[in-house]
Amino acid sequence: MTTDFKTAVQLGEILKEEFIVDAHAHMGPWFNFHVPEGGTPASMVHAMDRLGIRLSIISPHICIGPCYLEGNRQARAAAKEYPGRLVPFVTINPNYPAAEIRAEIEHWDRNGGIIGFKFHPACHKAPASHAGYRPALEYAQARGLPILSHNWTGDPVNGKSTLFGLAQAYPNVTFIIAHACAGFEGHCESARSLPNVMLDTTGSGLGYDVVPEMVRRVGADRVIFGTDNPFIDPRPGLGRLFMARITDDQKRLILGLNARRVFRL
């Protein structure tokens, strides 16, 4: 078995000795998008096995759609069914009462703990600075937890996204900018300016040279791999990273070592 990523993908090999983490995955169907096999936990793990992805951190589509409470419970059930393979985010919808959100956070704090939060300002139609996110922000700040948030988070301030201001206000939280290739220049500038900002590779439009350019601008230790599986087929994103014009040591950071550090896996 070769340990060279580029050669491995050309030969169709699975790098079983590598600890690859998909730090941005979902689960289940989506209302206006075809998801093969319904995005079941079994279908996701099957796709992971074919690609050599050891672990995926998940936020079911229902979390960012009609019911974040039910979605969090489905994520926990999937984690119990596939321990060590599917690991749940706790997803927060800021449009609900603060008491309910705090109760949800406390529930998961008592029942298995929280490795990180998922915000989806676009689907929840609320900027990441919305007051409803504050209980999660305060909890993450107190415990040094990461937050994965989509980057379309409201009107930019001085050319920078809402997440830039939050990263300044909550320096103990690692903010992972999802789909960082959208708004690339500003997100790279945010990551260069603040040590608690990271860039996520997830995206169907990820160009061949985007990851090398991220590495050049912010360093491989500030980039984290994600796929959107099963919303997006994970194979193209993984293949682009395997073939990227960066070193294998840099690929290892992006593919798993950074996520293991940030999420304490």
Does 116 or 205 have the greater pLDDT score?
116
Q: pLDDT digit string (tens) for 237-246? A: 898 899 999 9
pLDDT for the residue numbered 13: 86
Residue 186's pLDDT band (boundaries 50, 70, 90)? confident
Stretch 9-14: mean pLDDT, rounded? 86
Written as six digits, the tokens of 181 are 């290739």
Residue 2's pLDDT band (boundaries 50, 70, 90)? low
pLDDT above 70 (res 69): yes
Instruction: Write the CB contacts of 188 (distance below 8 Å, at least 6 apart in sequence).
Output: 180, 199, 214, 217, 218
Tokens 């290892």 label which residue? Answer: 252
- Domain positions in the chain: 18-262
Tokens 């689907």 label which residue? Answer: 123
The pTM score is 0.95
**CATH for the stretch 18-262:** 3.20.20.140
Stretch 18-47: mean pLDDT, rounded? 94
Alpha helix (H) residue ranges in the chain: 5-11, 41-51, 61-64, 68-81, 98-110, 121-124, 134-143, 162-169, 184-193, 210-218, 234-243, 248-252, 258-262
pLDDT for the residue numbered 154: 54
pLDDT above 70 (res 152): no
105: alpha, beta or left? (left if phi > 0; alpha if psi -120 to 50): alpha
The closest alpha carbon to 175, from 159, 193, 158, belongs to 193
Q: pLDDT digit string (tens) for 82-98? A: 999 999 999 999 999 99
Residue 160's pLDDT band (boundaries 50, 70, 90)? low
Report the C-alpha gap between 53 and 14 in whole angstroms: 9
Q: How many CB atoms lie within 10 A of CB 58?
A: 31
117-119 sheet: strands from edge to edge: 90-91, 117-119, 146-150, 174-178, 197-200, 223-224
Report the C-alpha gap between 135 and 68 in whole angstroms: 15
